[in-house]
Structure 1
């Protein structure tokens, strides 16, 4: 039987934070104490400000409820590492204001990590870098993101002004269905009421979104998957440059990276693929090649301009920093 009341309370809190209902008998078995001790520890947590709900009956139990403030969180080792890594990547997102907020939260968490976890997090941060896609000057307003997230959840129509790639602006009334994050860009998959068809919208090109109060019945996204729909929509965009690559990996290992690249399979073998990719300019082609190279070795067959650009990019990446 565990007699350390403080350690037992922290372990109990960690279990409750999963937000599932825990029967008293199961909590007692996990903590190796009596059910009476569990109930006493639950009362102690309530006195500390943690809102613990209880439900009676055959399927009843205890669960940590949503309160009026954020109580201290208890994280195990793996959770603490995962949160730290997630905040580090959130600090690089193209969402206005989230960088500073994420860094503040990251500093608080990492300052409390024990030495063994801090070494793990530091090793991951120093060994992994994010390939940031070129963004056409567009940073997403977090308020817009919130409007669309709520509209997708509540099936509510949204009106906004949309700036197309040629800078022409139009007024839109849509039924928002799903938000899709692709690298540094965010997309909205929605049914356009005026055009009577599905459309993909870049959130950084949307201005003054507002819910209009009317609701809609959800439709089925073509193909059933919003991410695949966005990937197909991006592939349908006019491309001015193409390249041919040899990727030293079987096709099954490349699905996650190729789905975001406008490509055509030319030859597929057991351990390599020949692929043609397309993009608006050589710079974006180089970024696509670099992203694929994070998954498997890549050789550029053509064009020669891209081969030269990749060579210069590699030289810059390996040049020691000037001190």
Structure 2
């Protein structure tokens, strides 16, 4: 393999790992001049790769979908079959390492021409794996777009439909995609709210790439896990109630952290916080986390209200009663 071919393949690999590359950085990485980079880009274009170039200080190169599948040693049928398989694997979490699946899917769909993409969309909708517990339907095309944005650290816009039915337009800096309980979640920095937010991917639509890059704000793996855990807890439950606590909103947010999501200002001195669970016991557990000394009221409905009261009264009687006698253990002599 000639040096020219090797360099062109190295250039192609770089173009596939980021959405946009400045010409100067490509030249530096490859150890050549920018003029040589331009010649190698033209060679790749001749092979069927559609590479968009933009002039200026912030200019550079990006790999786009072309009119035909570039030479990946795949036929159209093989490319369609591979894309469908990756979509199913991503949506159903059939393999470990979701980032690997999404990265492979994003790389392939990035270069699929429009006719083949339409075939993939049509066939993927008809493929329904059996024997697998699924969550809400997720657009694997949107998963691929979000995976690209997470990989490239690119701001995106999208519309989001909340559980309440409210539709909003969001502008975010995507951080990571994470699967949990057969749902996909996007963890990102919400530019309008100036805070971290987690969105259910099945409620996302109209993802738009802005081509504006960003430096991600730092998060530890433990923080990411907590964000996803909180997001998983925000589902409709059998028992739901609000508590209004004698605690200003800012102090409540500081005390509860991410678990304070959903809270709202009741008045300058009080905060309203939704609590839910599968039964009154889980609701009681949630209310038990209200800080010590903070008074609150709740609109817990019957029969859960009566069940909780009866349970608490028995607990109080148990605490007020004399403790049970210590268990009697046979002596060593009697045991002999």
Is the TM value for this pair above 0.5?
no
Give the alignment's TM-score, normalised by structure 2: 0.35
Q: Which has the larger radius of gyration?
A: 2
Report the TM-score, using the length of structure 1 for normalisation. 0.36
